[in-house]
A = this chain, B = another copy of it.
């Protein structure tokens, strides 16, 4: 198995914007270097270009529209994030849901530019549905765990295990991220033991006073 991926979603948190985005990316690069674990960041659109050019870690968009360059005022195309230096993009995050056909269009457009697709899903069925679109990753965010502060190990881990099985039944090449309920290195280890290939997380890193300390803990059991 390849190294797990720790993917930090900066959302539109004030603590993950501008200078703070740089500080978090810097911590991610440091801890990735120390640990050998891949750590990526999905910053605000405005930080996409600066971060991708200042740091060696993979930088993701938080969303991407699958259409061609053209008359799409206010949207963000794969063309744009490619120019900005992105490695890939989240798609269909629970805070930015897309229609099924739009998700597919975004995956196809990313693949045409050799960028990585991470489709977010919310349960076993939608994870299987996402896997059918052949992205690189499906990130499962069980609604009962989002922002709950409840560790995936304390909650019923069955939803993760079943989602992994459902994804691989549809397409065994698709990797899975655990997208909620990650508080600590112990949680990351459990997520990997449940068959996932890493984690997608947000506030625990982004709002930390010292993101490097939190990141070192997150990779500590791998």
State the CA gap A96–B72 with chains docked (Å): 8
A11 touches which one: B18, B48, B72 (CB < 8 A)? Answer: B72
Least distance between A47 CB and chain B CB atoms (Å): 8
Residues in B neighbouring A170, C-beta threshold 8 A: 128, 132, 170
Q: Offer 16 A-B interface pairs, CB within 8 angstroms, sorted by A.
A: A12-B79, A17-B80, A17-B83, A18-B83, A45-B46, A45-B80, A46-B80, A46-B81, A46-B83, A62-B73, A71-B202, A94-B101, A101-B126, A103-B129, A104-B123, A129-B130
A100 within 8 A of B: yes
Residue of B nearest to A9 (CB): B73
**Inter-subunit contact A125/B129 (CB<8 Å):** no
A126 touches which one: B84, B93, B96, B104 (CB < 8 A)? Answer: B104
Chain A interface size range: 35 or more
State the CA gap A92–B203 with chains docked (Å): 30
A175 within 8 A of B: no
Known: A13-B69, A132-B131, A170-B170. A97 touches B100 (CB 8 A): yes
A157 within 8 A of B: no
Q: Using an 8 Å CB-CB cutoff, how does the interface string of A8-32 with B read, 1 for contact, 0 for none? A: 0101111001100000000000000
**Inter-subunit contact B122/A101 (CB<8 Å):** yes
